[in-house]
Each structure stands twice: as structure tokens, then as C-alpha cells.
Structure 1
Amino acid sequence: MKFSFTDDQRMLAGAVREVLEKSCPPETVRAAAGGERPGPAWRALADVGLLGAHVPEEHGGLGLTPLDTVLAFEETGWFAVPGPLVETAVAAPLLVPDARLAEIAAGTLVVSVASPLLPDADIADLHVVGDRVAPSGETDLTRHTSADAARPLFSAPRDELPAGPAFDRAALATAAQLLGLGRRLRAEAVSYAGQRRQFGAVIGSFQAVKHQLADVAIALEFAAPLVHRAAYALAHDAPSAPRDVSAAKDAASRAAHGAARTALQVHGAIGYTDELDLQLWLNRVWALRPAWGDDGLHRARLRDALLGDGPAAERLP
């Protein structure tokens, strides 16, 4: 298969990057760790159309496909946008009543979807657990420890994953975010490697460090086509879509995790302190890796598909 992104798809990603450069500095991500509702970045993404990208046009959205938005979601990973973005913009349009879709597109409705835990449920207006959609005040929540303070996690009495298109589309968007996060971490590591000095030389001149950074770059470049292939499969309702999504999520998760480990090694212990912003992207990678299916789930789906076990390839726990 040979394809390239259209000018419109690249323009949407460019518009998202432009508005997030202004509205989502690291200080915004830090503020989210204090429990603030989605602020300027959320409003900016609504204005540029990303929150309503998957909402049908008759409900005030753009009616776009996963292929149209995958590059844009990579950009949201680069900036570690706080709030339940994938849950609200990607999963919710397939799960909430049509009467609420216009609010999603306008940026006035925040939705948390169990995957299987509910991210940012404390600031969400609606909670979706399995096939149940309820106002936030009607859900009995239990808070859990999260790797990312800007992405708190909660459980409800039932913690079910939504099946079908909502799961696959959200898993793909999460893979795209992980790809963006991995690229940001690699960029931060390369920059710092040109500044940090040991034994009288910058560590970026050391062969071992060069090899580590090259390995990260290769893993990210190998993961990107899988993410884009999955977006194409979902946009065209290909029978292979569940397999392709699982391959993308697994590859992006592993590549981003490798980028996080290398970035932390390059920075040293200071990389995980509040003195540097690096920990914002580290924490987000570790929080998103198990979201919308952990590595084990997606490898099982991929294995079933490759071994020709039929319906098992689309099975969810």
C-alpha cells in the first residue's frame, strides 16, 4: 500500500501544533496536576476543530476519519495536553447520546471513558463505563494511584472497556499520542546531550549515547507507519483494522517507553525532578502505555489475527 497524507490532514496537524505552542506550555500541564479543569489548551483545540473532529457535521462537528486526525493527535502527544482528550474527542462521539454531541464539538462537555479505569473523572461532566452513560455526580468513584499526576485515575463499581469502533479508535489515538511523546522525549534528550558534560566533553559526543539515541529514532520511525496504517484501515473499515490497531498500539508503546528510558538516562536523576519539565512527558508515557489496552492485550489480539483464529482477533477481555 502506498499513500500520503493530504494537504488538509497536514494543515489540521499544523494548526493544532500552532495553537498548542501558545496555549499548552509545560506550566499548563503542571497546573493540571493540581486538579484544574481543562483550560486554554482545551478551548484552543475546540476552536481549531479537533474536539469536534469525529462528531458528525449535523451535530456541529467536522465528521472526519481517524486518518484525517492521526497526525493532529501526534501533536497533542508532543505537548502532553492535559484532560481526557482521547476519551472526549474520539471515544465519546460513538458512545454518548446524539443530543450531547454538539457540546463535545463546542468544548463545553468533558467526558471520561473507562479504559478500564476512568481518567480525569474528577473534572468530567459525563462518565462512560461499558454501555452506561451517567452524569458525574451519579458515579461512585474510587481514586487510584497514577503515574501521571496530571492524569488522575478512578474506578467505578463496574470497570468495562467499550467494545467495537470506540475501543479501536481510542487505542489508535492513544498510539498517536505516544508517538508524539516519544519524539518529544528524543528531542529533549538530544538537546540535553549537547549540553551535559562529563570527562571534559559533552555526552552527546560519546559513541554509546549516540547509539542509544539512534535506537530510539529507529524505533519511533518503525512505529509511525504502523500507526498510520491503522488509521488508514479504520478510515476504510478494513477487516484487518483490529489487527492493525493492536500492532500500532504495541509498537508505539514500546517505542515511547524506550524513548523515556533513554531520555532519563541522558539527563540523569535530575530528569525526574521538578526542576526540569522532562518528567511531564515521562509520566505521560507511563500513564498512556496501559490505557486503551495494555501491551499484553494488544499482543494477544495481534497473535490471534496472525494465527488465523478468526473472531478471536477482535475479542476484548
Structure 2
Amino acid sequence: MEFTFTQDQIAFRDSVSRFLMTEAPPEMLREVWDTDAGRSPELRRKIAEQGLTGLSVPEAEGGLGLGDVDWALMTQELGYYAIPDSLIDAAYIAAGMLAALPEGHAARGEWLPRIVDGSARIAVGHPVNPLVADAHLADLLLPHATPAGLELHALPAAAVKVETERSIDASRRLCRVTWQPSAATRIAEAAAGQAIWNQALERGALGVAGQLVGLAQHMLDMTVDYAGQRKQFGKPIGAFQAVKHHLADVFTAIEFAKPVLYRAAAALASQDASASARIAHAKLVCGEAALLAARKGIQVHGAMGYTWEVDLQMFMKRAWALNAAWGDRAFHQARLADALLADQAPLGPGATFH
């Protein structure tokens, strides 16, 4: 089995990286954090102009119709630059949920084109997340109701009550949402809605896993740079073997996490029966890499990485927050255990490419 990215996918990733490097430097992120909304309409507009909001929207609704593997690259870049925006929730998760509705459905026809042009913010309230990200700014909310399965509802902002909650990550704006389900708000019955919500969970967890890899890589790059500049006993601290070991551990963790992430994305894209287990594995491994990068980064920085003045704390706090989003460690460990301990589970070297 050979898995490589196409030249177009690599070019896409590089172009996104160059765009975000220019438009979202750390000093801009700090300015956005200090605003009441915590979001930059100007950055969102530029993201939409680049076509990034329409990646998952079908071509019939004006999007690019790209898949999960493309998002595995995209989410790493969003994580690397710690973009303070709910782009993934709207352009990847919500777009997939609305695209799963039958052709001609009113909600699909109304909201997918607005995702493409960037004029709509959509918040997704999956039961695995007790709080809803960016609900305070959402034009549309997709909450769940559980009378006999997970129904899918769609409500405008005026139909919900939103209470903001604080997060350790100042750029992650979380809300508690109160609303009343009705036949008028229901856009998918429990049978169809359950499948849509299951897919949303997989995409949400995969999106977070990709961001965690990007965050880990940025924290490693920052720490390497600091180790090359900070001097002790007349030489850069990066010259000392103990520091090299810290950095090597993080590098190894990232490189081992990437293929797990890509395999999970490929499984989801092909609707492989093992997709849930592979995504759970990716969420765990990518989370471990990000947490290790944060811990080692703080050690190399001499604990000053905690302080507000150092950019490391921005990425570290995002990693801590995202590690529990779309299913915490216990949730995904249980999902992975169910797959591994199932009867006739394909285990061992011979099942590597089962």
C-alpha cells in the first residue's frame, strides 16, 4: 500500500501556509483576543476570498467539493497558526451535515452557498461537547435533540439563548446554548439525523487531531528557535545534550502522529468500517504529541513559556483546550478499546493493511 499526497494537495497546503503566515501573525492574534467577540471579520473575509470556506461544499452549491484527506492538511495549517476562528465548524463539519440533506432541501439550498461566500457563521452543538464554540456569533445553530435518536435541528440566532463561558484558551469562545426543539426547527428525523451526527463527530475529532499536530509543530519550531538564541555558560542551550533530547522526543512524537492522522482521514474519506477506531487513535496520538510539545517547550524556555509575554503560551493553551474538544481522552480510549477488543478484530502484523 502506498499513500502519498498529490502535487496539487501539496501546493494547496503550501499556499494556505503562505496566506496564514502573512495574514495571521502572533501580534494580530493577540489583538483579536482582546476584542469582545474574539474574532476578526476582516480575517474571515480574506479566508473566504481565498476559497477556504467552500472546500467541503459540493460543486453544485458553488464549493470545491474537496474531501477529508485535503482537510487533514488544511487543519494542520490552521493549528500551526492558531487561527482564532470557527472555520472548521462551519466549512468542514456543518458543511458536511448540510450536504448530507437531500438535494432540494431548503436548509441545504439556503446555507451552503452562504458558507462558500463566508457570509454565514454556523455553530454545531454535538452532545460530545458540553459547550458550543462560537455560538455567540453564529447566524445558524445546528443543535441536537434526543427524543428517540439524534434529530438534527436548525435555528437562527434569535431563537436561542446563549450564555458565554470562559476558557483557558482566550481565543476559544465557548457558550452554553438553551433552545426549544419543535417540528418547525427539525430538518432531519432521528433515523437520518443519527447518521449525520455520527459523521459530524468523526469530522470534528479528525479536525481537532489535525490542529493538534499543527500546534505541536509550531511549538517545536518556537522552542528550537529559542534554544538556538538563549545562551548559558557561553553557548546556546540547544548545544546541550539534555535539551537536544527534549526536542528529539517532540519531533519523534509528531512524525509518528502524522501517518496515524493521514490513515484516519483516508479511512473516513473511503467510508472504511474502521474509520471510527482510526480517528479515535489519531485524536489520542495527536493530542499526546501536542501536550508533549507544550511540556517540553516550557522546560526549554525555563518555565517562562507560561507568561503572557511569550508567544508559546498561546499555542500551549490552544493545545490544552482542543485536547478535550470533540471527545476527551477517556471517550476516544473507550472507542479504540471497543474496536481492539471486539471478536475477530483484525490485529497483528498480517492485518496492517486489512
Normalising by structure 2, report the TM-score.
Answer: 0.82
**Is the partner of 1:3 in helix, strand or coil?**
coil
Give how far 1:46 is off: 1.8
Which string of whole-angstrom CA distances, capped at 9 and with x for unpartnered residues, describes residues 92-139 of structure 1? Answer: 113342120111111111112125111122222222222222122322
Q: Which residue in the other structure is 2:148 paired with? A: none
Q: How far apart, in 1, do the equivalents of 2:337 and 2:171 lie?
A: 34
Q: Which residue in the other structure is 2:25 paired with? A: 25
Q: How far apart, in 2, do the equivalents of 1:83 and 1:154 lie?
A: 14
Bigger mean CA deviation after superposition, 192-201 or 79-88: 192-201
Bigger mean CA deviation after superposition, 260-269 or 196-205: 196-205
Give how far 1:48 is off: 2.3
Give how far 1:164 is off: 1.3
Q: How far apart, in 1, do the equivalents of 2:218 and 2:287 lie?
A: 14
Give how far 1:268 is off: 2.5
Change in 2 beyond 3 A, CA 1:197/1:170: same
Q: Which residue in the other structure is 1:202 paired with? A: 236
**Is the partner of 2:155 in helix, strand or coil?**
strand
Q: Which residue in the other structure is 2:13 paired with? A: 13
1:121 to 2:155 alignment:
no
Of 277, 281, 306, the match for 1:243: 277
Give how far 1:309 is off: 6.2
Q: Is the 8 A contact 1:148 1:283 kept in 2?
A: yes
Give how far 1:141 is off: 2.1
Q: Is the 8 A contact 1:29 1:82 kept in 2?
A: yes
Give identity over the alignment, percent: 42
**Is the partner of 1:142 in helix, strand or coil?**
strand
Q: Which residue in the other structure is 2:205 paired with? A: 171
Bigger radius of gyration = 2
Change in 2 beyond 3 A, CA 1:40/1:215: same
The one-letter amino acid of 1:225's match is P
Of 108, 112, 124, the match for 2:123: 112
1:268 to 2:268 alignment:
no
The one-letter amino acid of 1:61's match is G
Of 67, 83, 91, the match for 2:85: 83
Q: Is the 8 A contact 1:15 1:48 kept in 2?
A: no
Q: How far apart, in 2, do the equivalents of 1:202 and 1:307 lie?
A: 49
Q: Which residue in the other structure is 2:189 paired with? A: none
Unaligned 5+ segments in structure 1 are 311-317
Q: Which residue in the other structure is 1:230 paired with? A: 264
Of 80, 102, 107, the match for 2:113: 102
Q: Which residue in the other structure is 2:190 paired with? A: none
Give how far 1:208 is off: 1.3
Q: Is the 8 A contact 1:272 1:279 kept in 2?
A: yes
Bigger mean CA deviation after superposition, 29-38 or 3-12: 29-38
Q: How far apart, in 2, do the equivalents of 1:204 and 1:39 lie?
A: 40
Give how far 1:36 is off: 4.2
Give how far 1:66 is off: 0.5
Give how far 1:37 is off: 3.3
1:185 to 2:219 alignment:
yes
Q: Which residue in the other structure is 1:66 paired with? A: 68
Which string of whole-angstrom CA distances, capped at 9 and with x for unpartnered residues, describes residues 14-72 of structure 1? Answer: 11111111111112322332224333432232222221111111111111110122112
1:139 to 2:130 alignment:
no
**Is the partner of 2:161 in helix, strand or coil?**
coil
The one-letter amino acid of 1:292's match is W
The one-letter amino acid of 1:134's match is L
Give how far 1:201 is off: 3.0
Q: How far apart, in 2, do the equivalents of 1:306 and 1:269 lie?
A: 39
1:47 to 2:81 alignment:
no
Change in 2 beyond 3 A, CA 1:48/1:279: same
Q: Is the 8 A contact 2:88 2:207 kept in 1?
A: yes
Q: How far apart, in 2, do the equivalents of 1:249 and 1:122 lie?
A: 27
Q: Is the 8 A contact 1:23 1:40 kept in 2?
A: no
Bigger mean CA deviation after superposition, 164-173 or 245-254: 164-173
**Is the partner of 1:95 in helix, strand or coil?**
helix
